[in-house]
Amino acid sequence: MRDAETVTFGGSGLDRAAELRGQSQVVADHLEGGTAQVVVLWRGKPLVGGPDLDHLVRLPPDHPVLRSQGGVPILLGREDANRLIFAVELSGWMPADLDVSHINAFADPTEQQHPDLPPAAVFAELRRIMTRLSARDAELAATARALFAWHGTHGFCSRCGHKSEIVQSGWQSRCPSCGGGHFPRTDPVVIMLITRANRVLLGHSPGWPEGMYSLLAGFVEPGETIEAAVRREVFEESGIRVGEVGYLASQPWAFPASLMLGCHGVALTDEISIDPAEIEDARWFSRDDLMQAFAGDHPLLSPARKGAIAQFLLRNWLADTLD
């Protein structure tokens, strides 16, 4: 697919400086030398600024808030020969009168402002502002969010249960008791543009806004190919049989840690029979339906979340630019 890496969170070309992750002294020198920059997260929400919240706020590593309330810096990459970019999560701060019901929800409109950080900067839900960020800022934010989410659930060794230590500049968790090393994982998820003639198959999941339909998706199981996963997931959720399957594009989806594998599948059958344990509804929609939905004129259908690979694939299908 020609435009595959123009999907949100793709196409930045970040140099991840993997060769430096084990060089603790070199990394420390950059953190202490005044050339590094730090992007900041709080509960997975990046610190952003500007009237439209359209860029990551970068702080010097010696900022007092980072020193007193920040966790372990994670090396994200290198932006030029002399500047490394790190991420720090503010684990030692809690906003006053916080309403936790919105945190990490499907749509979190809340913003948090730290009293000792730049006054125009706020912590905002990444899914809400992801399309406003540059490709580089989007990749940095997604990488940091995924890494902090992984460390948040892997604080203990899966071999022996002992408390682990963060090493390799944030890219490994090591057990001081048994020596086990654990690396951040990304879960492969197939997301399918299933078509039959001039129609596309879309589903509605529990908890989604009314009228919102998107492409079917599901996790790849152990021992399963991408193509097999597409056919299995579509049949399980909708009862539709799929024949030919082809890969289109991928998207890192740090909510919490998935790699969305966008595929095109050709349906062999028409009749839908949903599994209510999987989705609430599935329907065939025509090109005209999708065009109306993207224009905001459809009486039922709302398009998938802007910035998600589902909308990206649907737009390319409408424009006949999948190849």
Return the pLDDT at 81: 79
Return the pLDDT at 3: 86
Per-residue pLDDT tens for 73-101? 999 999 987 899 999 999 899 998 888 87
Closest to 37 in 3D by CA, of 63, 68, 11, 64: 63
- The domain 4-154 is placed in CATH, from the list 2.30.30, 3.40.50, 3.90.79, 3.30.519, at 3.90.79
Tell me which DSSP letter residue 265 carries. Answer: E
Return the pLDDT at 2: 83
Torsional class of 100: left (φ above 0), alpha (ψ -120 to 50), beta (otherwise): alpha
Amino acid at the residue 20: L
Sheet holding 181-182, edge to edge: 165-167, 172-174, 181-182
- Report the CATH number of the 187-318 domain: 3.90.79.10
Q: 258-267 and 172-174: which strand pairing?
A: unpaired
Return the pLDDT at 259: 97
pLDDT grade, residue 102 (50/70/90)?
confident
pTM of the complete model beyond 0.75: yes
Contact 309, 192 (CB under 8 A): no
Return the pLDDT at 213: 95
Sketch the domain layout of the chain as residue ranges: 4-154, 187-318
Return the pLDDT at 174: 96
Tell me whether residue 27 is exposed, middle or buried, using C-beta atoms within 10 angstroms of its C-beta: 0 to 12, 13 to 18, 19 or more: buried
Helices (H), the chain: 24-33, 64-69, 126-129, 135-153, 226-238, 287-295, 309-318
Return the pLDDT at 289: 96
Q: Tokens 């030029």, residue?
A: 80
